[in-house]
């Protein structure tokens, strides 16, 4: 499977085309829209989220509630577009002020590199596409992937572990409980004490015209052993998930299981001992975060991602005017103070896509029925091993 997205943050809509999705999978549009609504929430979001009410409009590949095997096309409208029709219109405009030109690049954003690379003297042409608004449609795509995963009992959940210097106690709960509790938290944590301190830290950063990043963890349960492959670099599923996580705007790091901690410990404290009980293999621990040799072990996938603080600062950093080359402070655009809770939802959904994709690589088939036959045959093979 593959997908492409198109669209600008203040353009009319975001568009996605998903190619290779199997037929006969029930698509619950409410479930996809629930993912979109989750992404809009979280303490620290800016005014834009009051304008938008993201919903996925399916415009291809789904009929009477089920996929047909044709490319799935979906659209999420930008409500804010009505305020930008001239600024973002495709028709040429003469008046300079109607362009809302950006000429003072924000340190940390794609503005300057993109302007130099694409030879754009209006940095709006870069920021409009590099904006994290694009994650809306990737969450919708992840929502579609989840519709396939749920047919096979695979569940994806997330929790925020850090915002700025506030660390939350990591919750090791059954996923349904983790989902229920984090869903009610404005910062998607289980640890109530940390929740209050995170909210205070976000409010303080906002007061100072500053921003905050953090750490997010995603867990995937119900994956069979053997998704991904050791035989070729680009078939390693942990590598693909890492790429997907780092492709989320503002993400700078990723780790699996005990992650960077493994550098400090001896091998005996890092690897997961193999057991055989009640007719199947299992592990005493899951420090590997569900992967060995780029393949799933059958244990839950545990991934953490690091998000840097958003680069649009209301108290802007030093920059240079691209016209005069004189020192200036960076341009201020409306933005969020902290989008780590939203990023948790985004990370869940980009990982859901990668797992669904690896699932199809392994059990491939054009219809759900064909995939199910392959899946059940494989499970029998594993049981008989």
Residues making contact with ligand EPS (CB under 6 A): 9, 46, 48, 52, 80, 131-133, 136, 249, 312, 333-336
3-state secondary structure of 40: helix
**Other beta carbons within 10 Å of 145:** 29
**DSSP-assigned letters across all residues of 299-321:** SPEEEEEEEPPPS--SSPPEEE-
Q: Which tokens is 58 given?
A: 């399916």
Residue 155 or 335 having the CB closest to ligand EPS: 335
- Is 45 annotated in some ligand binding site? yes
Residue 238 or 336 having the CB closest to ligand EPS: 336
- Is 131 annotated in some ligand binding site? yes
DSSP state of 327: E
Minimum distance from CB of 102 to ligand EPS (Å)? 11
- Is 205 annotated in some ligand binding site? no
Residues 56, 74: contact at Cβ < 8 Å? yes
- Is 293 annotated in some ligand binding site? yes
- Is 100 annotated in some ligand binding site? no
**DSSP-assigned letters across all residues of 43-96:** TT--THHHH----EEEEESEETTEE-SSPEEEEEE-GGGGGTTTTT-SS----G
Residue 36 or 194 having the CB closest to ligand EPS: 36
Minimum distance from CB of 80 to ligand EPS (Å)? 6
Residue 14 or 303 having the CB closest to ligand EPS: 14
- Is 129 annotated in some ligand binding site? yes
Minimum distance from CB of 46 to ligand EPS (Å)? 5
Q: For every residue of 223-250, which 3-state class applies, written as one string?
A: CCCCCCCCCCHHHCHHHHHHHHHHCCCC
Q: Which residue is nearest to ligand EPS (CB)?
A: 48
Minimum distance from CB of 131 to ligand EPS (Å)? 4
- Is 310 annotated in some ligand binding site? yes
Residue 72 or 123 having the CB closest to ligand EPS: 123
Minimum distance from CB of 100 to ligand EPS (Å)? 11
Minimum distance from CB of 207 to ligand EPS (Å)? 19
- Is 249 annotated in some ligand binding site? yes
16: left (phi over 0), alpha (psi -120 to 50) or beta: beta
Residues 6+ positions from 159 with CB-CB distance below 8 Å: 168, 170, 171, 178, 182, 188, 189, 190, 216, 217, 344
Residue owning tokens 């003297």: 121
Residue 312 or 357 having the CB closest to ligand EPS: 312
Binding positions: 39, 45, 129-131, 249-250, 293, 308-312, 334
Binding positions for NADP(+): 39, 45
Binding positions for FMN: 129-131, 249-250, 293, 308-312, 334
């Amino acid at each position: 499977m593959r997908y492409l997205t198109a669209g600008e943050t203040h353009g009319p809509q975001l568009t996605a085309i998903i190619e290779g999705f199997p037929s006969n999978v029930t698509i619950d549009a409410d479930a996809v829209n629930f993912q979109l609504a989750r992404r809009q929430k979280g303490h620290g979001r800016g005014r834009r989220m009051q304008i938008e009410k993201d919903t996925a409009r399916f415009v291809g590949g789904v009929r009477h509630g089920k996929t047909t095997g044709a490319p799935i096309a979906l659209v999420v409208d930008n409500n804010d577009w009505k305020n930008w029709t001239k600024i973002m219109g495709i028709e040429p405009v003469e008046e300079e002020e109607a362009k809302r030109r950006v000429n003072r690049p924000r340190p940390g954003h794609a503005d300057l590199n993109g302007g130099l690379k694409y030879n754009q003297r209006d940095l709006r042409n870069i920021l409009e596409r590099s904006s994290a608004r694009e994650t809306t449609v990737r969450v919708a795509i992840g929502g579609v992937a989840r519709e396939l995963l749920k047919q096979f009992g695979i569940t994806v959940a997330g929790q925020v572990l850090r915002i700025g210097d506030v660390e939350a106690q990591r919750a090791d709960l059954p996923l349904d409980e983790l989902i229920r509790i984090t869903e009610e938290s404005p910062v998607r944590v289980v640890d109530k004490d940390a929740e209050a301190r995170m909210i205070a830290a976000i409010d303080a950063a906002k007061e100072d015209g500053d921003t905050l990043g953090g750490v997010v963890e995603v867990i995937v349960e119900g994956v069979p052993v053997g998704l991904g492959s050791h035989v070729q670099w680009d078939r390693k599923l942990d590598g693909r998930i890492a790429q997907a996580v780092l492709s989320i705007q503002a993400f700078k790091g990723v780790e699996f299981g005990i992650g960077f901690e493994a550098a400090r410990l001896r091998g005996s404290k890092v690897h997961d001992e193999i057991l055989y009980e009640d007719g199947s293999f299992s592990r005493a621990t899951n420090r590997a975060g569900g992967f060995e040799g780029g393949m799933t072990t059958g244990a839950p996938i545990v991934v953490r991602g690091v998000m840097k603080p958003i680069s649009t600062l209301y108290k802007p950093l030093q920059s240079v005017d691209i016209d005069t080359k004189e020192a200036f402070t960076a341009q201020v655009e409306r933005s969020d103070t902290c989008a780590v809770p939203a990023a948790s939802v985004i990370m869940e959904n980009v990982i859901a896509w990668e797992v669904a994709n690896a699932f199809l690589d392994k059990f491939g088939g054009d219809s759900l029925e064909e995939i199910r036959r392959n899946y059940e045959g494989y499970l029998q093979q594993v049981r008989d091993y």
